[in-house]
């Protein structure tokens, strides 16, 4: 179960089907966590780990190669991680260019903020999205490396 490439016992078809379908809904949960994050429980980090857990299930159920064949988008994980980090850094440090301390908000505290339901559109949202992307990317990279059989690493 742990290193699927080497194992002969594959999980039953039920697990495999669910695993393959789960990343989609997990994104939905993540979106909810980010959107509600400022008012209720949740933030970009938890959202990222939840999506990564869904991806981890795919790896466990299908094995490394099959998982990456089933979800070809996974190979963009490094870009996701770096992009997320840059987004988070940019949203944190852009106030320096305006002569304000880092991690200041736009719109500033007390000013009017556009709201869509509970979702408030202001710069910390970008920060949360950046963290989310980074966490998903980093954990997917880690899963990718650990899912490879040991022999392949030496080649």
User: How buried is 17 (Cβ within 10 angstroms: 0-12 exposed, 13-18 middle, 19+ buried)?
Assistant: exposed
- Structure tokens belonging to residue 97: 């260019």
Examine residue 10 and tell whether it contacts other proteins (CB under 8 A).
no
Beta-bridge partners for 115: 120
What is the closest distance, in whole angstroms, from the C-beta atom of residue 86 to other proteins in the complex? 10
Shortest Å distance, C-beta 13 to other proteins: 22
Residue closest to 137 by CA, chosen among 65, 77, 71, 92: 77
Dihedral angle computed from the Cα positions of residues 70, 75, 81 and 86, in that order, rounded to the nearest 10 degrees: -120
Under a CB-based contact definition with an 8 Å cutoff, are residues 27 and 51 in contact? yes
Q: Which of 19, 60, 61, 136 binds other proteins (CB under 8 A)?
A: 60
Q: Which of 35, 37, 61, 67 binds other proteins (CB under 8 A)?
A: 37
| 24, 99, 110, 117: residue in contact with other proteins (rule CB under 8 A) | 110
Selected binder of other proteins within 82, 94, 106, 119 (CB under 8 A): 82
Taking the least distance from each CB to other proteins, the nearer of 16 and 140 is 140
Sketch the per residue contact string, 122 through 141, with other proteins: x for CB under 8 A, - otherwise: x-x--xx-xx--xx--xx-x
């Amino acid at each position: 179960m742990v290193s699927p490439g080497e194992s002969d016992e594959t999980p039953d078809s039920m697990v495999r089907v669910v695993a393959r379908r789960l990343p989609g809904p997990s994104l939905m949960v993540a979106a909810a966590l980010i959107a509600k994050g400022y008012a209720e429980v949740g933030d970009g980090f938890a959202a990222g780990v939840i999506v990564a857990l869904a991806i981890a299930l795919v790896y466990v159920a299908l094995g490394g190669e099959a998982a990456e064949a089933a979800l070809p988008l996974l190979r963009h994980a490094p870009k996701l991680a770096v992009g997320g980090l840059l987004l988070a850094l940019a949203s944190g440090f852009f106030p320096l260019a305006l002569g304000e301390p880092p991690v200041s908000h736009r719109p500033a505290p007390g000013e009017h903020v556009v709201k869509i339901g509970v979702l408030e559109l202001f710069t910390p949202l970008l920060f949360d999205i950046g963290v989310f992307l980074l966490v998903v990317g980093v954990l997917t990279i880690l899963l990718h490396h650990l899912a490879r059989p040991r022999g392949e690493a030496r080649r």
